[in-house]
Chains A and B, each alone.
Chain A
Amino acid sequence: MIAPDQTTFDYVQGRPHAPQGEDWDAAVEYWNTLHTDEGAEFDNEVFINADELEPFVTWGTNPGQGVPLSENVPDPEDAGDDNAKDAARRALDYMGLEAGTPMKEIPVDTVFLGSCTNSRIEDLRIAADIVKGRTKADNVRMMVVPGSAKVRLQAEAEGLDQVFKDFGADWRFAGCSMCLGMNPDQLAPGERCASTSNRNFEGRQGKGGRTHLVSPVVAAATAVRGTLSAPSDLESVPAV
């Protein structure tokens, strides 16, 4: 949990279902009491310098089995205890990967840009910005599924749907789609997917389907190159 601050209040104010008028003032006064107590002790403190982070992608079958995109598929023998080693071996077998393979050389069949996790209007804008003027890799199908109907309408008002369609992607109605494959949006056995959802368990996106969790910008760059990629791997768009 994170204490709400002015950025949070600015985001909430004026949105549907947000309190208004005197109720708003009372709510903000109350929310301002929701901070960490002076002198609180934590079990563990973790500091992350976001400036030094590069995109992470998963190689295995749970969200913890991930590496920076520029690294290689790890060796199960380097995983912690026997349990972790066993889980890593099983994951590589399911994913059809070999330890030592550079992540960026892994080709995908499908790119799924969607799910409530990573299909906000901001995500669609940044992904559209990457694919605009570029050509989709021939061997890749791409689905773009807005995170909500509101996001879809906003994206269409901004012309993002056309950018994705011109690129060669499917532009869909909002829904869960391939995040969990409840509808026919599923992977075939062995099919490999770069997905902006947040679960990569065995069979999550279809029986035998292989999921790599990626961010929206990695999804967009991957659809261009056909292998797991960062935007910095792309050639610049020729000036028109």
Chain B
Amino acid sequence: MEKFITHRGTGVPLKQSNVDTDQIIPAVYLKRITKTGFDDALFAGWRKNPDFVLNQDVYKDGSVLVAGSDFGTGSSREHAVWALRDYGFNVVISSRFADIFRGNSGKQGLLAAHVDQSDVELLWKLMDEQPGIEIEVNLESKTITCDTVTVPFQIDDYTRWRLMEGLDDIGLTMQHDEDIKAYEDGRPAFKPVTLPAKS
């Protein structure tokens, strides 16, 4: 996973609350057995509408999504994050994220930046005034800058550290190989175990 320190890219206003994972990626696309190539699936239903924000030239190369509250609710599909990443989004900004979506984001290198709703509306206003304006997100200082405005965002320290180090779950786990083995040797037999794949 790539390290995330700062990102600057075109902001895309998605002025809707409760954007659930069925909208982010409809279930029919989940049959694919790859982890990449979901860019065409992102918002597949809405993209059939020519007025949808990503169908406007000025936004189609956007990489910072600014959405309404309760983003990522519904079915807990990792594909929702993959689709956003594959399309080209590095950051989603919202005043409230569904917990599982936020968890999946941190594990896949997508920054879920939590801001006050008034700041979401401020960013929307700036984007309305200057469509295609770039937004800079700094994970080190936990700030979002657009035009002359800078607003803070929240993210838990652990996810921030992981993103800045570029560590996914496997990368993290492999750092503790010896400890894991020692722990497994002393674990009660009634608890579940993970067996190595048969070769």
Residues of chain A whose beta carbon lies under 8 Å from any beta carbon of chain B: 19, 23-24, 26-27, 30, 62, 83, 86-87, 180-182, 199, 201-204, 207
Contacts and interface: CB of A to CB of B under 8 A. Distances in A.
Given A83-B69, A199-B22, A201-B20, A182 B188 contact: no
A62 B20 contact: yes
Chain A facing B: main interface SS: loop
A8 to B, nearest CB: 16
Nearest to A19: B190
Contacts of B166: none
Interface of B: 17-18, 20, 22-23, 26-28, 30-31, 45, 68-69, 73-75, 188-191
7 contacts: A19-B190, A62-B18, A62-B20, A83-B68, A199-B20, A201-B23, A202-B45
B73 A203 contact: no
Nearest to B73: A62
B74 A24 contact: no
Contacts of A203: 22-23, 26, 45
B22 A202 contact: yes
Contact of A201 (B30, B31, B74): B74
Contacts of A62: 18, 20, 73-74
Contacts of B68: 83
Contacts of A30: 188, 190
Best-buried of B28, B75, B190 by chain A (most CB within 10 Å): B190
A30 B23 CA distance: 42
